[in-house]
Amino acid sequence: MNAYAIVTIVVTFTALSGWLNARFLKLPGGIGVMLLGLFVSGGLMLANLFDWLDDSHAIELVKSLHFDKLLIGGQKSDSIGEGMILGLLLFATALRIEPSAMARRFGVITWLSTMGVILTALITAMVLAALMTLTGTPYIFGHLLLFGAILAPTDAVAVISMLKRTSAPARVREIIAGESLFNDGISIVLVLFLIAFLDPGQTNLPYENWWLGFIAETGGAILLGFIMGLVARLLIKTIRQGSVIVLISISTILLIGLIAPSIPVSTPVCAVVAGLVLGRSSVLSQGKGDGGLVIGFWGLVESSLTAMLFLVIGLELLTITFEFETLLWSLAVIPILLIARFIALFLPWMVAWLTGRTSMTFDEVGLMTWCGLRGGVSIAMAIALPVTILTKGSEEPFRTSVLVATIVIVISTILFQGLTIERVARIVQRRSDRRAAASANTET
């Protein structure tokens, strides 16, 4: 299958998904395409499970396209262009976020996208280790920590598109949007360095200490993204032609894909920062005229890349085997993730509440916990796991069970949490209104 055929399939699938969603499902665009893509992936998994398809050609196609490099990338010297699919997706999302709103919540967003990711991964690994010890299941804690890091980030596309339809307080929407953008990139860097720690032969790290590399790659990505976004913003400021602005934005993200992996710094983190800086341009922030053309173009890119990501998932499912035991463990992880996310949110909120530095309520902490949807980023990281990391007690690649479990968890969180966020937000808003009314009555 050549590049033209792949592009044709992606565009057609995006168009059909958008039509089916608008005609029948009536869900937010990102959620609708994601669910339809996941159902296609599930259908391919069942077809492979019951030998309904001759998947030999598909497997060869998957191997030849190197999806793991295109999705996530790595730290090798010949990695130009790696991680570009995810970089483009996050750039398109960040371009449409209001940076000033995020600046107001800088502290909590920084916590959630860094320490929040680490805490979620660590708590998930520790609880899983305890459960496996009780059931007598062999495990390696580093593997569980890697699995926790894969599941730690919330999905920017899914969460942002869903929150737009809810009555959630503005500060909750701002925190969730900022967190979901940055924790993707941070999680990717963490996963890559955990892989390097567990399987040194798979990477060529330029740092002696993985933690030093983590800091350098993340900090360098933020600096490079800021510079690239600022240069593009200055260029756009001097013109008004929409077509030229689109070309400048495209060249910005392509240059990031060229420069970032060569330094090396994280392409996704760099793309997010560049998108936020460029989005502050007065031309784009107004969303009208030529600015509206640019925003519309990147909205189309976002939809197409989301569809492409889930087509990739469908192809990858043809290469793995499904086990019922993995399904049971996957369902058990869902409440663990909710608990881990709640702890990561509750700790900074409690400190701020005790010191009188926040007006956020405990109900809003619960709402943000429920907004922790997992999506394509987690699946992309699972796809990128090397097959050389083996599950303890067997010769099966750890990647196989992680990929199946991640897909099950993503589908479950979107169905059970994503489709009920609006209802939970209404409950939180009603409780807030009742408290405000009671306080007003007390004062009078």
Measured distance CA(271)–CA(112) in Å, rounded? 19
DSSP 415: I
Please compute, for residue 37, the number of CA atoms within 13 A of its CA located in the half-sphere on the CB side: 35
Name the 3-class secondary structure at 152. coil
Asked whether residue 215 is assigned to any structural domain, the reply reads yes
pTM of the shown model = 0.83
Residue 398 has pLDDT above 60, yes or no: yes
Residue 15 has pLDDT above 60, yes or no: yes
Between CA 386 and CA 393, with CA 390 as vertex, the angle to 5 degrees is 170
Asked whether residue 444 is assigned to any structural domain, the reply reads no
Give the percent of the chain with pLDDT over 70: 76
Measured distance CA(85)–CA(305) in Å, rounded? 7
Name the 3-class secondary structure at 397. strand
Output the CA torsion sign for 287, 292, 298, 299.
positive
Question: Dihedrals φ, ψ of 411, to 5°?
Answer: -60, -45
Asked whether residue 311 is assigned to any structural domain, the reply reads yes
When the pLDDT of each residue in the chain is averaged and rounded to a whole number, the result is: 80
Residues 74-133: tens digit of each pLDDT: 544 445 556 677 788 888 888 877 767 677 788 888 888 889 999 999 999 999 999 999
Residues 164-178: tens digit of each pLDDT: 777 778 888 888 888
Residue 386 has pLDDT above 50, yes or no: yes
Instruction: Give the pLDDT confidence score for residue 201 in this predicted structure.
Output: 60
- Cβ contact 271:90 at 8 Å: yes
Name the 3-class secondary structure at 246. helix
Asked whether residue 438 is assigned to any structural domain, the reply reads no
Measured distance CA(182)–CA(141) in Å, rounded? 26
Average pLDDT over residues 167-196: 82
Average pLDDT over residues 142-169: 82
- Cβ contact 178:111 at 8 Å: no
Structural domains of the chain, count: 1
Instruction: Identify the residue with better confidence: 201 or 104.
Output: 104
Instruction: Give the pLDDT confidence score for residue 77 in this predicted structure.
Output: 43
Ordered alpha helix ranges (H), 105-241: 106-113, 115-135, 141-151, 156-163, 170-198, 210-237
Q: Between the CA atoms of 366, 340, 135 and 331, what dihedral angle is there, to the nearest 10 degrees?
A: 60
Residue 333 has pLDDT above 60, yes or no: yes
Instruction: Give the pLDDT confidence score for residue 168 in this predicted structure.
Output: 78
Asked whether residue 127 is assigned to any structural domain, the reply reads yes
Instruction: Give the pLDDT confidence score for residue 319 in this predicted structure.
Output: 67
Asked whether residue 439 is assigned to any structural domain, the reply reads no
Which two three-digit tokens encode residue 159? 């969460």
- Cβ contact 165:422 at 8 Å: yes
**Averaging pLDDT over each range in 11-25, 65-79, 257-271, which range is the top one?**
257-271
Measured distance CA(160)–CA(173) in Å, rounded? 8
Asked whether residue 117 is assigned to any structural domain, the reply reads yes
- Cβ contact 229:273 at 8 Å: yes
Q: How far, rounded to the nearest angstrom, does the alpha carbon of residue 348 sit from its chain's CA centroid? A: 22
Measured distance CA(89)–CA(256) in Å, rounded? 13
Residues 312-325: tens digit of each pLDDT: 666 666 666 667 78
- Cβ contact 234:240 at 8 Å: no
Structural domain range at position 321? 3-433
Instruction: Give the pLDDT confidence score for residue 129 in this predicted structure.
Output: 94
- Tell me the C-alpha to C-alpha distance, in Å, between residue 411 and each of 32, 188, 373, 415: 12, 20, 9, 6
Residue 220 has pLDDT above 70, yes or no: yes
Instruction: Identify the residue with better confidence: 1 or 434.
Output: 434
**Averaging pLDDT over each range in 35-44, 286-295, 327-336, which range is the top one?**
327-336
| CATH code, domain with 21 | 1.20.1530.20
Measured distance CA(252)–CA(240) in Å, rounded? 17
Asked whether residue 115 is assigned to any structural domain, the reply reads yes
